[in-house]
Structure 1
Amino acid sequence: MKKSIRLRACAFARISAPALSMLSLAVAASAQAQGIEINPVVISATRMEQPLSEVLSSVSVITRQDIDKSQAASLADLLQGEAGFEFGRSGGPGSVTSFFLRGQESKNVVVLIDGVRSQTDGIGSVTLTDFPLSQIERVEVLRGNAGALYGEAAIGGVINVITRAGKGTPKAYGAATLGSRQTTELSAGYGGQLDDTRFDFNAGASGAAGFSVINADKNAIANPDRDAYRNQYAGAKVDQKIDATLRVGVRANLKNSVVDYDDAYALNQSDTHQFQIKADTVGAYVNKRFTDDWLTNFDVYSASYTYDAMKNGVVAANGHYQGHADVFRWTNTYAVSDATSLNFGLERSEENFQQRSTYDMKRDTTAYFAGLSSKVGRWNFQANARRDELTVDRTASASALKKDYADNTQLLGLGYQITPAWRLTSTVSTAFRAPAANDLVGTYGNPNLMPETHRAQEAGAVYSVNQALLRVVYFETRTQNTIAYDAQYKPQNTGEMRNKGYEFTARAEVLGNQVKSALVFQDPWNVTSNSLPGRRAKQYGSLDVSRWLAGHEVGVKFAGASDRSNFGGPADLAGYTTWAFYASRKIDLDWTARVKLENAFHRNYELAGGYNTPGRGLFATLQYQPK
């Protein structure tokens, strides 16, 4: 199920002599090649373990080794160029960031942390798009409609972040980074297993002096000072084996960040603006095996966030936002036979949203789900069904409102193994998204909103051998009752959105080169307004090639996207390409030196209209990771 290969020999894309000299100075003597996983095990696609080559939906996996090699500054930067994934950002790492999957709106994506749904805010946006990479073991990106597995709003897909877990002899690990724009990051952890106890503790801090995030050529009133970013975080995970059938555990994550930003509508150029953000989650879980065939899991967790929008050092008018969620999840897997497995369970979440006495709302969700995966000869089958029931309640307020929503969603998948290397796949599915709490109330609220409904289908082919895994997928999606904002910023059911296109993904060893690539051709379109949706390209992708050369792992990553529209309409955001060059060298068995030259050709591009993006930057990392 897990196939590894060894990286050998070398060749590296040409870079300038000064940059190459800096790489050579940053890294030291001989190294051994590390294996990569061509066909890792995936959980997100069915809620059960499967080899990536057998998954019927379209999935990508980013491993811990990929994370280390990328030297990415944030989760968005790590995922940039992945098939199906696009993002908008108002500045550099730490700035307000929106994730788009399969051309869908940013509210139509679900982020999971260790399989548990991440918190959203009162407008339905994911609150945790800036998860510290040092805490992550791997990331699974499930593209396309996953509503039948993960519920309301899982329309564009799911990003499942799996955090580090203790294994093997307890060891310390950590990394220190210095770089352009006064970037610093220091992270450290300690994890492993002692007898029947597994644990991992980690903490870190990062920051940068940054740059002025608003383009002064387009907005002369913007404050031209640098907009800095500071972040502190900590995480813990501990579980204990009680007996051969029972394991219990607890986990927690804390994160505080301060982000300077420029207000595009500021009245005074000297005004300073800042977001102060706090987010924390704490939970417990129980894994119980009732029989050899039946495994059950209970998860309970509580999550909170606060946003304070500061102006000149004080909280701006109506600038305080907060939310709290309590979640219970019960999931089961049952092996009917060696070739057939069931999963079933229920989820319950209770959410509260507040904004300094402007509103106080509750949003409760109860869901029931079941799924089947089976293999018969050369055929693979998947079937999932789910029912979500939601209540949005503001009855405690003077302007009372209570709305109930419910929907049933389904997914059917079929695969056929043509030869040992080639497999055909297909899925059809439905999904929905209910209005967010803030969409319904207040000056800009609309209590008459209906849920979005979504239908999708895709067909693909997978080629899998020891040294390569390639996938091509054709997909079509269609959304009815799309929720969008009119000229008065009031949400409306505006009509129909659709998207269709092709995705190509590959992970392989070719002539000693480790190659990872993705390419997407899509046609996202607002049928009702006859316009492009905001910040989504018709073509985008990436190519990452690396190999070993004289004891160094050296590589180059290219990422690019075509023209996009900023808010929907004309394509007013120009296409862009960026190049990054990187290298690493093992100092000894535990220490690795890494260096990266990002945006090497200093491209000036936008991910959100009027906002700058980071220019050329050089970053060096010293990593301690015992084997």
Structure 2
Amino acid sequence: MKPSTKAMPLRVCARLTLAALATSTFSVTALAEQESLDAMTITANRMPTENVLAPNTVITRADIDRLQINNLPSLLSRFPGMDISNSGGLGKNSSVYLRGTNSDHVLFLVDGVKWHSATSGGAAIQDFPVNQIERIEIVRGPRSGLYGSEAIGGVIQIFTRQGKNQDPTPYASVDIGSHNTKQASAGVSGGNETTRYHANFSHQSTNGINAREEDNPDHDGYRNNSVSAKIDHDINKDWSVGANFLRAQSQNHYDSFSLTEDFYADNIQQVMGVNSRYQFTDNWLMSFNLSESRDESDNYADGTADGTFNTRHRFFSLVNTFMLSKQQRLNVGLDYDNDRIEGTIDYDETSRDNKAIFISWQGHAGNHSWLLSTRHDDNEAYGEETTGTAEWGYQLTQALQFTANVGTAFKAPTFNELYYPDVGFFVGNPDLEAEKSKNYGVGLLGNTDWGTWGVHAFQNKIRDLLVYQFPTTENVAEAKIKGLEFDLATTLMNWQVQFNATVLTPEDEETGNKLPRRAQRFANLHVDRQFGDWLIGGSWKVSDYRYDDAANNTRLSGYGLVDFRVAYQIDNDWSVKLNAMNVFDKEYQTVNNFNTLDRTYMLSLHYQP
């Protein structure tokens, strides 16, 4: 029997309600056994906890299956605070702007491992296979006090698929759709009381669309093959170990400014690691992580090599968690990171180390909850940074909670910005400092008989922003971002309804111009309903206009997109799905002169015992 939600903390209650909306009786998404897990998050406080004060979103495997979205950028864009730009359709370069911050102001983690390019600064989100994802945790707001560099806008952590305590269970799916898009995925999951395992292989390919509006009027295709494996083993009741591996190899054809050449890139995204947890006493838990991520790109023009950029990131972490009482928890940890690059560019430096120590204190007493954290980073390239976060929550009633927070964060310069060799029009600047930010926020969270809701207001001031000033990059700009977020989950006449809206004013402090490629208003609506063996749903995404350039000379119009989806459960094991994206064939751009997908369809067959 489920405990009454009225006896639960508000944040837990809200998360369980969202989980229930995502996991309907339709057996294709029958992940009800994860409902208890959905009440726990790891990323926000860097420890498993139900008491999360930071604005956050959890996207489960059930959400992904229900929405029938086949790429990570589009999936992320359907949730609060997330704005996306795309340069030409499936598999093309995509950027995420979390809460209006720059595309490299969000920290991406995969199973706890930092995932990024040390040369460009961003993560290749367009190359991450959605079929390999178990869940995504999005934390909105500064998190450098726990994680270090990049976490100015927030943290997005992807957890790959994991095994369960069950007999070996295979599953598979095949999909076919517009632009000769083909997908296939197969995997097996299983385990027992002490060991859990999972393995998966996925394929995705498409002929694509013409990426650029003018140049190279051809179809720019994309192909991605990926494999993942994960195993967890409990040696005894106090000691557990695990290992994970993911590799995605893709080939992306793209348009450049030449009218004749065929440009493409062979890319590799790889993450692997081992971890261990040991419970020394009832009040002391030690966690260990050793991992590596790779971002590799080989570029070609008419079959001739045209540049190689490879990043290898190695990471070691040791975290001690102390239970001070039933209501209070202390985390003390240290991190060591090493970035190494190689390729056809002769950088002045090719490696850098970062050492960090952090401490956080989480607790609750009566109607009060809190999180305090601070972290000190020492980087051999750009020096030392100390950041922190303070969050407080007050339970006004059983159904209403008030939160307030303040936090500082920073973003380290990339290898390109620091060490790129002199090519006439650009040269690296080894004297650069980190970009720095200070964020304030308040929130109100509600849980009622009819659903859950939340509203968050924030202001983020960023200084020492890196700007290109011929022929190099300088710390000269400042930005101020004010924002308001609202999200709602409820059921109306048996329709499951989720709605979110974001309003931003992302401005350059000196010029007053809007920051480029960021809409000031955007919203999403998702509705789904069960009709026996049928599940029918739709989504509506609307986005305001944006400017493509810092001078605000090039304005890109706003747009609205409508999606429809239907799924039919054939029997206990088999189901068929059909979705239509952008059903009204809206033409729009999020990057000037680069096209986006038109109306598309996808038909899929799923086997899930």
The alpha carbon displacement at 1:609 in A equals 0.9
SS at match of 1:281: strand
Q: Output the amino acid matched with 1:299.
A: N
Q: Which residue matches 2:128?
A: 131
8 Å CA contact 2:358–2:374 kept in 1: the answer is: yes
SS at match of 1:152: coil
Q: Which residue matches 1:458?
A: 441
1:606 maps to 2:605: no
CA RMSD of aligned residues (A): 2.0
Q: Which residue matches 1:178?
A: 176
Q: Which residue matches 2:3?
A: none
Q: Which residue matches 1:197?
A: 195
SS at match of 1:481: strand
Q: Which residue matches 1:224?
A: 217
Q: Output the amino acid matched with 2:568.
A: R
Q: Which residue matches 1:425?
A: 403
Q: After the TM superposition, which parts of structure 1 deviate over 6 Å for at least 4 consecutive aligned residues?
A: 5-8, 30-33
8 Å CA contact 2:467–2:474 kept in 1: the answer is: yes
Q: Which residue matches 1:210?
A: 208
The alpha carbon displacement at 1:130 in A equals 2.8
Deviations 1:173-201 (A, max 9, x none): 22111101101110111111135221111
8 Å CA contact 2:111–2:160 kept in 1: the answer is: yes
Pairing partner for 2:537 from 555, 572, 575: 555
1:44 maps to 2:43: yes
Rate the CA distance shift 1:129–1:372 in 2: closer, same or farther, 3 A: farther
SS at match of 1:189: strand
1:163 maps to 2:160: yes
The alpha carbon displacement at 1:279 in A equals 2.4
Q: Which residue matches 2:6?
A: none
1:287 maps to 2:277: yes
8 Å CA contact 2:94–2:125 kept in 1: the answer is: no
The alpha carbon displacement at 1:34 in A equals 5.5
SS at match of 1:524: strand
8 Å CA contact 1:475–1:501 kept in 2: the answer is: yes
Q: Output the amino acid matched with 1:435.
A: P
**For structure 1, which segment, 229-238 or 192-201, has the greater mean C-alpha deviation from structure 2 after superposition?**
192-201
Q: Output the amino acid matched with 2:44.
A: A
8 Å CA contact 1:191–1:201 kept in 2: the answer is: yes
Rate the CA distance shift 1:199–1:260 in 2: closer, same or farther, 3 A: same
The alpha carbon displacement at 1:561 in A equals 1.0
SS at match of 1:449: coil
Q: Which residue matches 1:372?
A: 361
8 Å CA contact 2:576–2:604 kept in 1: the answer is: yes
Deviations 1:243-281 (A, max 9, x none): 111111221111110000000x21xx2211101102222
Q: Output the amino acid matched with 2:271.
A: T
Q: Give the unaligned 5+ runs of structure 2.
A: 1-11
The alpha carbon displacement at 1:35 in A equals 7.7
SS at match of 1:495: strand
Rate the CA distance shift 1:332–1:507 in 2: closer, same or farther, 3 A: farther
Rate the CA distance shift 1:194–1:41 in 2: closer, same or farther, 3 A: closer
1:511 maps to 2:508: no
Q: Which residue matches 1:395?
A: none
Q: Which residue matches 1:336?
A: 324
Pairing partner for 2:93 from 91, 96, 100: 96
Q: How does 1:429-578 map to 2 (within 5 A)?
A: 429-441=407-419, 442-443=421-422, 444=426, 445-465=428-448, 468-486=451-469, 488=470, 490-570=472-552, 572-578=555-561
Tell me, in whole angstroms, the C-alpha distance in 2 between the residues paired with 1:302 and 1:31: 36
8 Å CA contact 2:118–2:339 kept in 1: the answer is: no
8 Å CA contact 2:73–2:125 kept in 1: the answer is: no
Q: Output the amino acid matched with 1:327.
A: F
Tell me, in whole angstroms, the C-alpha distance in 2 between the residues paired with 1:209 and 1:446: 40
Tell me, in whole angstroms, the C-alpha distance in 1 between the residues paired with 2:198 and 2:302: 40
Q: Which residue matches 1:19?
A: none
Q: Output the amino acid matched with 1:322.
A: N
Q: Which residue matches 2:305?
A: 315
Q: Which residue matches 1:390?
A: 379
The alpha carbon displacement at 1:41 in A equals 2.2
Q: Output the amino acid matched with 1:238.
A: I
Q: Which residue matches 2:341?
A: 353
Pairing partner for 2:392 from 411, 414, 425: 414
Tell me, in whole angstroms, the C-alpha distance in 2 between the residues paired with 1:67 and 1:84: 18
The alpha carbon displacement at 1:489 in A equals 6.1
**For structure 1, which segment, 108-117 or 609-618, has the greater mean C-alpha deviation from structure 2 after superposition?**
108-117
The alpha carbon displacement at 1:80 in A equals 1.2
8 Å CA contact 1:88–1:99 kept in 2: the answer is: yes
Tell me, in whole angstroms, the C-alpha distance in 2 between the residues paired with 1:252 and 1:431: 30
Q: Which residue matches 1:13?
A: none
Tell me, in whole angstroms, the C-alpha distance in 1 between the residues paired with 2:305 and 2:538: 44
Pairing partner for 1:249 from 238, 242, 246: 242
8 Å CA contact 2:31–2:62 kept in 1: the answer is: no
Deviations 1:568-619 (A, max 9, x none): 2325111111110011121122222111000000000112111000000110
Q: Which residue matches 1:15?
A: none
Tell me, in whole angstroms, the C-alpha distance in 2 between the residues paired with 1:271 and 1:357: 22
SS at match of 1:604: coil
SS at match of 2:235: strand
The alpha carbon displacement at 1:539 in A equals 0.3
TM-score, normalised to structure 1, is 0.89
Tell me, in whole angstroms, the C-alpha distance in 2 between the residues paired with 1:423 and 1:247: 36
Aligned pairs, number:
582
The alpha carbon displacement at 1:33 in A equals 8.9
SS at match of 2:350: strand
Q: Output the amino acid matched with 1:261.
A: Y
Q: Output the amino acid matched with 2:253.
A: D
SS at match of 1:530: coil
8 Å CA contact 1:7–1:512 kept in 2: the answer is: no
Percent of matched pairs sharing the same residue: 30
Q: Which residue matches 1:59?
A: 56
TM-score, normalised to structure 2, is 0.92
Tell me, in whole angstroms, the C-alpha distance in 2 between the residues paired with 1:620 and 1:330: 46
Q: Output the amino acid matched with 1:194.
A: N
8 Å CA contact 2:113–2:293 kept in 1: the answer is: no
Tell me, in whole angstroms, the C-alpha distance in 2 between the residues paired with 1:568 and 1:514: 40
The alpha carbon displacement at 1:464 in A equals 2.0
SS at match of 1:621: strand
The alpha carbon displacement at 1:344 in A equals 1.9
Tell me, in whole angstroms, the C-alpha distance in 1 between the residues paired with 2:253 and 2:185: 22
**For structure 1, which segment, 90-99 or 128-137, has the greater mean C-alpha deviation from structure 2 after superposition?**
128-137
8 Å CA contact 2:331–2:360 kept in 1: the answer is: yes
Q: Output the amino acid matched with 1:244.
A: K
Q: Which residue matches 1:405?
A: 383
Deviations 1:95-145 (A, max 9, x none): 111111111111111011122222333132224553211111111111111
8 Å CA contact 1:231–1:257 kept in 2: the answer is: yes
SS at match of 1:176: strand
8 Å CA contact 1:177–1:622 kept in 2: the answer is: yes
